[in-house]
Structure 1
Amino acid sequence: MTAKPRLDVLICAPRGFCAGVVRAIDAVEKALAVYGPPVYVRHEIVHNKYVVESLRRKGAIFVDELSEIPDTRAPVIFSAHGVPKSVPDEAATRNFFAIDATCPLVTKVHREAEVHRRRGRHIILIGHAGHPEVIGTMGQLPPGSITLVETVEDVARIDPALAAILAYVTQTTLSVDDTQQIVEALKARFPEVVGPHKEDICYATTNRQEAVKRVAPQVEAMIVVGSPNSSNSQRLREVAERAGCRVSRLILRAEDIDWALFGNISSLGVTAGASAPEVLVEEIIDAFAERYDVHVESVSTADESVFFPLPRELRAEPAE
């Protein structure tokens, strides 16, 4: 029997679930346990097909819009990405038992934007068009009071008449480096622009990107475990490429591994987006272990101890 070739796997720490994702998933699990199925969830609770399918099997029903939900007394949960103000308004009109599982760090951005508007400022939102978090943040404010900027080039198109009243906020899951370039361009063109007191890009996004920057130059290939529609996971793949890793791929399950790319390497980096469960990381490493003599080493760049309590509607058992 031929000996398996050695594969050194550098696994990034931290990786995977962040506190906001844990809170959102726990909110659905708790609602199912306390109230029983069905529990309705507007939008995917987090951007991971594996997590969504697991919750669906337990009785969660995922919808794109509240209009898809029949009149019901069952819980209706809003996803971790946040929603426009019109959504809780519609839920209240229909007398739904609504539970908001928006990540507290996204809620922070919503509040910042609202404060800026009350102070007479026009808000620049740095983010990706069409992402649920961006739709939710833009939907906090009246039309015309917030402008989305996706690139450095977009900064040049901002109306110069707004110069004296500009403030900016950002999507929480962006590339730290890309965002820095846009912020620098914004400040160069509008020196009086007002920024957040504390960076909007969340601690988990920053920490995961830093770990990838450490590992990527040391390995021949990098796998980011996560879903294609996960913004923070896509950014991790891009960060690995920029850090010098010649093969960097976003993969959800072991069955998605392209062995033409990964079948002849001696070193591999592995991380996971903030919505990817650790079981998928283990599954992918197990797949490599079938072909290689795997030696795993953890590379840690930060300790995370952040915890967010459940939405208040779920913190106590209902009275009998």
Structure 2
Amino acid sequence: MTRRVLLAGPRSFCAGVERAIEIVERALEQRGAPVYVRKQIVHNVTVVDDLAARGAVFVEELDEVPDDATVVFSAHGVSPAVRQEADRRGLEVIDGTCPLVAKVHAEARRFAARGDTVVLVGHAGHEEVEGTMGEAPRSMVLVSTPEEARGLPAAVGGQVSYLTQTTLAVDETEEVVGALRERFPLLQEPPSDDICYATTNRQAALKAIVAESDLVLVVGSENSSNSVRLVEIARREGTRAELIDRAGDIRPQWLEGVRTVGLTAGASAPPALVTEVVDRLGEFGPVQVEEREIARETVSFDLPSSVRGQSRRAAGDRSS
């Protein structure tokens, strides 16, 4: 039996992830190791292990960073309190925050400044949520479910607006926002959708193949919100789905009776891992790979000025 592999497209790295990784790579090339990174630069084990092997030192908080060192803030963003601590310590900061996360931070500041109570739809404990909530902690409240939205007190205060984490499931977020509108009919919304284009595209691409799939494999790490959402979406559609970090995680019993495998990857998973999964599937019998691309992504983001200069590697290449 030849097993079909349906490749969802777009998949793997998004522009914000590519930018964040390149920031760390350039910082290492230009400044030399070690370069400290607060939290994981992106939520992917393979990416973090690769950068650590090249001299990046990942820390949980700034008190683990030596004075006067270079520290990169992760793609998920940080609160103003973290920025203030870095300034006080005299650390050289290179900001890897995804511009689309930075947009949500700016909206939080603007809504709070005009006196709104700002409801953030997101998952408690996620680094992006912690950073966004930190922009206006006295004005913001976090909800994750429609039930939590309906349970907000009417006395939550004056004008109410909402924002969302950028990596949520689109369908579930619409349910929560719908509940907020029921609770607060004059609810104010952000000027544009906060769920990022990459999250939306990857979810739509998965939905285009899930009905044909007997099994969906999502390449991504357990702490990757957008990867976990992909698994949840497939399961809600009634298809068995598994989250894997790498090809070696595939269990042979998963493939028993499976004629069609849907394959995608979260926005923080390297494209090479998908290729390795296809190769691994081929070890269980012949495969026919079909690409199903619903959109072509052309988004790119500029690097911070502090790492735009010529890298030592590039200088060496030109002088040889």
Shorter-chain-normalised TM-score: which range?
over 0.9
In angstroms, what is the RMSD of aligned CA positions?
Answer: 1.5
Q: Which runs of 4+ in 1 moved over 4 A?
A: none
2:14 is the alignment partner of 1:18: yes
Give matches, 1:163-178, under 5 Å: 164-178=158-172
* Unpaired stretches in structure 2, ≥5 consecutive residues: 312-320
CA positional deviation for 1:163:
5.7
Contact 2:117 2:157 in 1 (8 A): no
Report what 2:132 is aligned to.
137
Report what 1:29 is aligned to.
25
Give matches, 1:72-91, under 5 Å: 72=68, 74-91=69-86
The equivalent position to 2:3 in structure 1, one of 2, 7, 12, is: 7
Could you tell me the TM-score, scaled by structure 1's length? 0.95
Report what 2:266 is aligned to.
273
Contact 1:163 1:192 in 2 (8 A): no
Amino acid at match of 2:30: V
Report what 1:295 is aligned to.
288
How many corresponding residue pairs? 313
Could you tell me the TM-score, scaled by structure 2's length? 0.95
CA positional deviation for 1:156:
2.0
CA positional deviation for 1:215:
0.4
Report what 1:253 is aligned to.
246
Report what 1:47 is aligned to.
43
Deviations 1:106-149 (A, max 9, x none): 000000010001111010000000000000100111x3310000
User: After the TM superposition, which of the residue ranges 190-199 and 155-164 deviates more from structure 2?
Assistant: 155-164
Contact 1:163 1:193 in 2 (8 A): no
Aligned mates of 1:197, 1:169 — CA distance in 2: 10
Aligned mates of 1:35, 1:264 — CA distance in 2: 53
SS at match of 1:218: coil
Amino acid at match of 1:103: C
The equivalent position to 1:56 in structure 2, one of 52, 57, 61, is: 52
Aligned mates of 1:226, 1:262 — CA distance in 2: 19
Deviations 1:37-56 (A, max 9, x none): 11100000000000000000
CA positional deviation for 1:263:
3.6
CA positional deviation for 1:311:
1.4
Report what 1:97 is aligned to.
92
SS at match of 1:98: strand
SS at match of 2:241: strand
2:179 is the alignment partner of 1:189: no
Contact 2:160 2:188 in 1 (8 A): yes
Give matches, 1:201-280, under 5 Å: 201-245=195-239, 247-280=240-273
SS at match of 1:16: coil
Amino acid at match of 1:138: M
Aligned mates of 2:88, 2:128 — CA distance in 1: 23
